[in-house]
Amino acid sequence: MAAEPTVTTPKINLRRPDIMAEVQAQVVSHYRSELVEYLRAHGHELRAGNLCIKLAKEFGFCYGVERAIDLAYAARKSFPPETPIFLLGEIIHNPEVNDQIRNLGIRTISSRPTPEELALLKAGDVVIIPAFGTEVRTRQILQEKGCVFVDTTCGDVMSVWKRVRQYARDQVTSIIHGKARHEETKATTSQATASGQGHYLVVYNLEETDYVCRYIVQGGNKQEFLEKFKGAYSPGFDPDVHLQAVGVANQTTMLRNETEEVQRRFKAAMEQKYGPENLERHFRYFDTICGATQDRQDALQKLLKEPLDLLLVIGGYNSSNTSHLAEMGEAVLPTYFIKNAAKMVSPRLITHWNQHVHREVETENWLPDGPATIGITAGASCPNNLIEDVIARLLEFRGLSAKDVLGAPPRPGTPA
């Protein structure tokens, strides 16, 4: 049995009061929004002319994202200017934020560095691990080179890692509800196999879940199974062997109700195959959905019950939690997933991300001519200044400006 790898790195205190005071001032200057604060103070609602904008109660940066950004900024202030600092992939899934990180002089390399990129690194160089973590092997390689880590991995992600490592120790296969190519899921699957004895299978949706559950209960064509899930299971995975005991976990940014349904269907399959009295030996489940992801989904669900003409979802197109907000909106009303205000070309034309064809598309006559009530939400990696830009753009389409709004006093009964 291979020993589970241990990784030790020098401890660097980036949260010194003097450093963090400078960091906070810089972060506020980059991402704060006076207009968003105005909406918070006015019950998350803005009325101007014949336009009503309703902002979800929970939106934008979560604690884990704020922490990751703070640590990246603090790294640049803490280490001498001549010290090279590298970021594995993206700090979070938002292009504007990643541009700001690069503007600090932090160099981006691949989340799984190429040999050419590794050749650039030397002992003492600083490597920032992003909020969704990194793969075990990548971390080992960088440690062997003597790199210094600034680890911004979200605590919720590490909770999932702990769970799948336990599954591996108990010879339980991790069924991970997520996107096999997402950085977080790659990091999680590497934890499942880190001890040398664990296995995993990634299922993306309920259709894939049902396929696996049928295989568990009825058996099937092994080669067809392996081809269907190619790239989404561990080396040496055998569905006839490694689906006898499973534990469900998830990419933390998936839809909670879908993850819960994945769990229910696997539980039912195991009960049918082995009997309820043997369930504990064959099935495990722990809730590993990120609290901030759930808060934003819950807030949007409430917003969608209000009268709205359309919904704008703001965030990076490769942001998993943002894409699920867009899915929720699309099921109810016209929804436009945009990464910034520039995508609202005019009141007649909007360019937005279509998740079904995986590219930007254009929609004409998206904004009603007359009175309109518009819902807005944003993913956990979207800064407030981008939300402000969208609101300001909507106001401009009605011949108004943010300055016209910011002078208005709070409505009676709303918190100041």
Q: Is residue 414 part of a domain?
A: no
Quick one: pLDDT band at residue 301, thresholds 50, 70, 90? very high
Is the pLDDT reported for residue 7 higher than 90?
A: no
Structure tokens at 244: 């006898």
Is the pLDDT reported for residue 134 higher than 90?
A: yes
**What pLDDT score does 10 carry?**
56
Is the pLDDT reported for residue 173 higher than 80?
A: yes
pLDDT tens digits, 384-408: 999 999 999 999 999 998 887 787 5
Q: Is residue 194 part of a domain?
A: yes
Q: What percent of the chain has pLDDT over 70?
A: 95
| One domain for residues 306 and 381 | yes
Which of 273, 289, 305 represents a domain boundary (last residue)? 289
Q: Could you tell me which of 298, 354, 369 has the C-alpha nearest to residue 323?
A: 354
Task: State the Cα–Cα distance between residues 315 and 210, nearest whole angstrom.
Answer: 31
pLDDT tens digits, 50-98: 999 999 999 999 889 999 999 999 999 999 999 999 999 999 999 999 9
| One domain for residues 307 and 357 | yes
Query: Hey, what's the torsion of the CAs at 364, 366, 368, 369, to 10 degrees?
Result: -30
Quick one: pLDDT band at residue 177, thresholds 50, 70, 90? very high
Which 3-state string (H, E, C) describes the chain? CCCCCCCCCCCCCCCCHHHHHHHHHHHHHHHCCHHHHHHHHCCCEEEECCEEEEECCCCCCCHHHHHHHHHHHHHHHHCCCCCCEEEECCCCCCHHHHHHHHHCCCEEECCCCCHHHHHHCCCCCEEEECCCCCCHHHHHHHHHCCCEEEECCCHHHHHHHHHHHHHHHCCCEEEEECCCCCHHHHHHHHHHCCCCCCCEEEECCHHHHHHHHHHHHHCCCHHHHHHHCCCCECCCCCHHHHCCCEEEEECCCCCHHHHHHHHHHHHHHHHHHHCHHHHHHHEEECCCCCHHHHHHHHHHHHHCCCCCCEEEEECCCCCHHHHHHHHHHHCCCCEEEECCHHHCCECCEEEEEECCCCEEEEEECCCCCCCEEEEEEECCCCCHHHHHHHHHHHHHHCCCCHHHHHCCCCCCCCCC
**What pLDDT score does 288 carry?**
72
Report whether 329 contacts 352 (CB < 8 A). Answer: no
Q: Is residue 105 part of a domain?
A: yes
Is the pLDDT reported for residue 375 higher than 70?
A: yes
Q: Is residue 3 part of a domain?
A: no
Q: What percent of the chain has pLDDT over 90?
A: 83
| One domain for residues 204 and 142 | no
Rounded mean pLDDT, 407-413? 54
Quick one: pLDDT band at residue 126, thresholds 50, 70, 90? very high
Q: Which domain holds residue 230?
A: 156-289
Quick one: pLDDT band at residue 239, thresholds 50, 70, 90? very high
| One domain for residues 44 and 73 | no
| One domain for residues 112 and 146 | yes
Mean pLDDT for all residues in the chain:
92
- The model carries a pTM of 0.86
CATH number at residue 199: 3.40.1010.20
Quick one: pLDDT band at residue 409, thresholds 50, 70, 90? low
Structure tokens at 318: 């490769």
| One domain for residues 394 and 308 | yes
Matching residue, tokens 């997520």? 178
Rounded mean pLDDT, 259-275? 96
Q: Is residue 244 part of a domain?
A: yes
Task: State the Cα–Cα distance between residues 38 and 50, nearest whole angstrom.
Answer: 19
Burial code (b: 16+ CB inside 10 Å, e: under 16) for 170-183 equals eebbbbbbbbbebb
| One domain for residues 106 and 80 | yes
Can you give the length of the chain in residues? 416
Alpha helices (H) in 57-205, listed in sequence order: 63-78, 95-103, 115-120, 136-144, 155-169, 183-192
Identify the three-state secondary structure at position 131.
coil
Q: Is residue 310 part of a domain?
A: yes
Q: Is residue 15 part of a domain?
A: no
> Residues with catalytic annotation?
184
Which of 99, 125, 154 represents a domain boundary (last residue)? 154
**What pLDDT score does 415 carry?**
45
Is the pLDDT reported for residue 1 higher than 70?
A: no
**What pLDDT score does 9 carry?**
53
Which of 102, 130, 154 represents a domain boundary (last residue)? 154
| One domain for residues 146 and 163 | no
Q: Could you tell me which of 59, 60, 319, 315 has the C-alpha nearest to residue 183?
A: 319
| One domain for residues 335 and 383 | yes
Q: How far apart are the first and last CA of the chain?
A: 61
| One domain for residues 179 and 254 | yes
CATH number at residue 134: 3.40.50.11270
Task: State the Cα–Cα distance between residues 364 and 393, nearest whole angstrom.
Answer: 17
| One domain for residues 39 and 85 | no
Q: Is residue 23 part of a domain?
A: no
Is the pLDDT reported for residue 411 higher than 60?
A: no
| One domain for residues 375 and 323 | yes
Query: Into how many domains does the chain fold?
Result: 3
Q: Is the model more confident about 341 or about 294? A: 341
